[in-house]
Chains A and B, each alone.
Chain A
Amino acid sequence: MTFDPTKSDRELHHRALVRAAWGTVPAELPPPPDPAPLAVAPTGRRARRSATRLLTLLLFGVWLVGCGNHHQGVVLWHAYNGAERTALESTAAQWNAQHPEQELELVAVPYGAFADKLTSAIPGGNGPDLFIYPQDRIGDWADSGVIEPIEFWLDDKRVERFTNEAIAAMAYKGSLWGLPVTVKSLALYYRTDLVETPPASTDELLALAPRMHARDGYAIAYANVDLYGHAPWLFGYGGKIMDDTGKLAIATPEAAAAMGFARELVTTGAAPTRSDGAYVATLFNEGKAATVMSGPWFVADIASNVPWKVAPLPVVSATGRPAAPFLGAEGILMSARAHDKTAAFAVMDALTSDQAAIARARLARQVVPNPAAYEDAEVARDPVLAAFRAQLANTVPMPMGPAMRMVWTPYKTALGEVLAGRAEPGEQLLAVEREVHGYLSGPATH
């Protein structure tokens, strides 16, 4: 337990006036001593002394300015690059033009360190006020008090500017923890020079294989050893990660069937044995893969001379259900230690407005969760956004419980073993479930 008055927003509330006075101090600093004596200083000691004094004053000034600015405005951390970053920055610039008193400061943080940084900085009162992150950590962070519930500020009208799936992805334990910025799922990219109509079922997909074989290629390429890439088959076959009560339900006959299908794709030569993002792009660009299962980010990897389109994923012929990828939603979340929560929410609200969504869809081709954005003429014309929007109807929200984060690696190992033909799906799935249980149990059983 710590008492640190400087880091408490309640304290700030009580001291707002005092702080305002502090903010003016730097302006009243005496002007720095004339630097001229430095140049003509007769003795080294005097020059040194005035230099030291100057330095001290400068440092003091910097410190004061730092103090004065520290709590004003809203700080948002993000891990965006390229067009997404430009789009976010343009919306931020708009906010800043309209609200000079509540300046929004964007801080780009490398994605690799993002989550760990937040988890360690926020409880100490040092993190950002807002940050953009996929929803899969919401459960963790909500349970450990890192993020702030926001439904207090919301009403039906505000919430209904998002699609149900997207806003539901921000809900956990009956509260809302963020506003969605973009939704990401897989869809089917296909080369129009190799297939005229995209395969509507997995049977049609398998039927493509012989023709592609003749070209030394594959019917479909996707990140098949990753759970994320495999998920469309898993859910298309009716498999699960967790049941409705949040308990692990990894080893089911349906999941085994889905893994069996992934193996069939490999053994029949319809898909390469082990592929990741870079390899998938190479195959597609060289015309060695007729279709690719990937997300909106794949557009950037396609060579300019490749004729392509995007369509929703095919139906799983064995079950008649459409293949359903994970739905990942990225949202703006609020730190539980945000300095001015009302102001932070206003920023959140503005950055996820329909206008902001249109700007992001236009500039960064983000699949935005605001239906109104698709009424914008330019956004409506974009066939890629249309395909991904159509896919949204058949998606499974990524589970948010802390257990989910421990599933990825064991599942990947299991897929690798099965696809390499070294193990049977059933036994591997059991091993995954055992391993995740092993992580969850500990000396202090929670």
Chain B
Amino acid sequence: MSHPVVRQLRDFVLGSALAVIIATCAFVAVRNRELAAKQIDLASRAADAIAEGQAPLPTVHAVLVGDAVPSTKNPYLRQREVKDGDEWRPLTAGGSFDDKLFYDAASRFERQGRQPFKELLKDGSGCAIAVRDAPAYAQLGHVADRSRGIAIAVTPPAHPAPYPFLVMIGVLGLGAALAAAGALVGGRAARAGTFAGVAAVAIPCVLWRAPIASTAIVLVAAALALAQGAQLTDRLATGMRRHRTALGFLAPAALAMLILVAAPFVIGLVLGFYDHHQGTWTFVGLDNFGEILSGGGRPLDDPLNFWFILGVTVLWTVANVALHVTIGVSLALVLSRKWLAGKGIYRMLFILPWAVPNYITALIWKGMFTGEYGAVNSMLDYAGLDHVSWFGSWATAFSANVITNTWLGFPFMMVVALGALETIPKELYEAAAVDGASAWQRFRHITLPHLRPALGPAVALGSIWTFNMFNVIYLVSAGQPGGATNILVTDAYRWAFERGERYGMAAAYATIIFFILLLWTVFGTRVVRRKGDDS
């Protein structure tokens, strides 16, 4: 066991790293907010000054802009004049760098009914702009018949305050000293040292007036002190030292999972609480979930009602998995016969649908189902039957989807069943034959029970795949007729990209889908598996 001070510092590094991350987030947020407020205030004061005919503030580019004189032929072309300094000049291209900005701001001001506005420019420069009415324009008496003008001020770009490295280093040094001192005293003082050391990082947060971050850091400090008391940190360190090689091998994959899976997942989860409208995000709490789960006030048979879509999705999943398993197992039973010649060729042919990328298969089937010249209707023609308008009614459109996905899905079940069949000992069949069991009895009491352990997980997996089978629904029926064959994922997609960028709704949908599947994997698969274990 190493020296207590070393152990104490190890724990301190762990806790302070977390605390520094929290403090940094707080710093960035506070700094951005303060800077924005400062810049907007500066712009607003400058606009006020120029509107009231006072001297402009030194660093701010503040001007008076005249009302628009629209072109007689093209109403969207408007000429304006600007008083930049002492002189009035036309506001056109070739003037100062900010002229375009003034022109557009003035247009927006007039379009919004002369409502004053002040905001940061959206180009990330940190410049703020303020626009308001300028009654002074009339007093200046530049043009008698135009009584009002617009005061516009643009601040210079602002640079956010640099990260306070010195403060952080100082605080960390203080914290480390406190922690080490605690360790030297030993016992309960060691824990107190850890707590005080980590909590020291909260000091700058208090100064930045960031209560949430300060509390979070104190909580981290308390949690660490408690963990230290329960010797959790010691055990963790020992474990990590012992499995150093294994962890080293795991690290790249873990990092990739963190970036590619965990981060988008968390972002998606958070987006569900926001509403997106024309580039701006508003926090709406549980409203999205409320609208989805309440059906949004739509009747139950409305294809936009969540419960209708959920019903379709469940039906879709059940129908598909049932067909996949039946067809897959039947084919596997045939293919496992000893007497069958050319088994390899059949096997390869049956696996082929699986090997073709599923969106290509879906597009081919979509083509085959089309109205007047699709292959399916041509075959019906040949057989003397009427044409079916496949995507005209719910039942036929849904069937078209199921047929396509069955084609895509049975090979997987077949392969799984074939593998499982290989493992059944021949002796069982021989013994059963000696006892005079019929073919059905042999299937029912020997084959089926042996297939179950392999088919259980395959069914669980297949049901999740089918539940989220975006490609088939989107490409084959595309939700026709009237969105009634959409499943949850395709409807979520439509909320995001076809119904006015309602990303928040789509994210909430995705979250709900996730929880449905989570429940299914935790409880549903347990049922499937238990059935397998019973026999």
Contacts and interface: CB of A to CB of B under 8 A. Distances in A.
Contacts of A7: 123-124
Contacts of B35: 3
A240 interface: no
Nearest to A403: B500
B372 interface: yes
B147 to A, nearest CB: 21
B371 A274 contact: yes
B74 interface: yes
B71 A156 contact: yes
B275 interface: yes
Residue picked from A3, A145, A345, most chain B C-beta under 10 Å: A3
Contact of A146 (B32, B159, B279): B279
Interface in A418-446: 420, 422, 431, 435, 438-440, 442-444, 446
B482 A410 contact: yes
A296 interface: no
Contacts of B99: 152
A355 B71 CA distance: 26
A14 interface: yes
A131 to B, nearest CB: 17
B74 A167 contact: yes
Contacts of A431: 482
A153 B371 CA distance: 51
Nearest to B72: A156
Interface residues of A, number: 67
Task: Name B's interface SS.
Answer: loop
A17 to B, nearest CB: 15
B291 A8 contact: no
B139 interface: no
B165 interface: no
Interface residues of B, number: 62
B107 A11 contact: no
B41 to A, nearest CB: 15
B97 interface: yes
B373 A279 contact: yes
A134 B278 CA distance: 19
Contacts of A413: 480-483
A257 B104 CA distance: 44
Interface stretch (B282-290, B410-418, B443-451): B282-290
Contacts of B157: 5, 8, 10-11, 14
A405 B76 contact: no
A3 B126 contact: yes
B513 interface: no
Contacts of A435: 304, 482-483
A410 B73 CA distance: 38
B239 interface: no
Given A151-B76, A438-B298, A9 B123 contact: yes
Residue picked from A149, A275, A431, most chain B C-beta under 10 Å: A149
A417 interface: yes
Contacts of B298: 438
B392 interface: yes
A406 B497 CA distance: 10
Contacts of A9: 123, 125
B122 A145 contact: yes
A152 B277 contact: no
B121 interface: yes
Contact of A279 (B36, B92, B372): B372
A171 interface: yes
A228 to B, nearest CB: 16
B93 interface: yes
B27 to A, nearest CB: 13
Contacts of B505: 442
B104 A152 contact: yes
Contacts of B121: 10
Interface string B20-57: 00000000000010011000000000000000000000
B499 interface: yes
A416 interface: yes
A442 B275 contact: yes
B81 interface: no
A5 B159 contact: yes
A7 B302 CA distance: 46
Contacts of B277: 444, 446
B103 A152 contact: yes
Contacts of A152: 92-93, 99-100, 103-104
A146 B35 CA distance: 24
B124 A143 contact: no
B39 to A, nearest CB: 11
A145 B124 CA distance: 14
Interface in A251-276: 272-275
Interface string A83-125: 0000000000000000000000000000000001001000101
Given A1-B120, A151-B76, 8 more contacts: A125-B123, A144-B279, A146-B279, A152-B92, A275-B372, A279-B373, A409-B483, A439-B500
Q: Return the 6 tightest CB-CB contacts between A and B, nearest first.
A: A144-B279, A443-B287, A144-B278, A8-B125, A10-B125, A444-B275
17 contacts: A1-B36, A7-B124, A145-B279, A149-B104, A151-B78, A151-B107, A152-B103, A159-B74, A272-B372, A336-B123, A345-B93, A402-B278, A413-B481, A417-B392, A439-B499, A442-B275, A444-B287
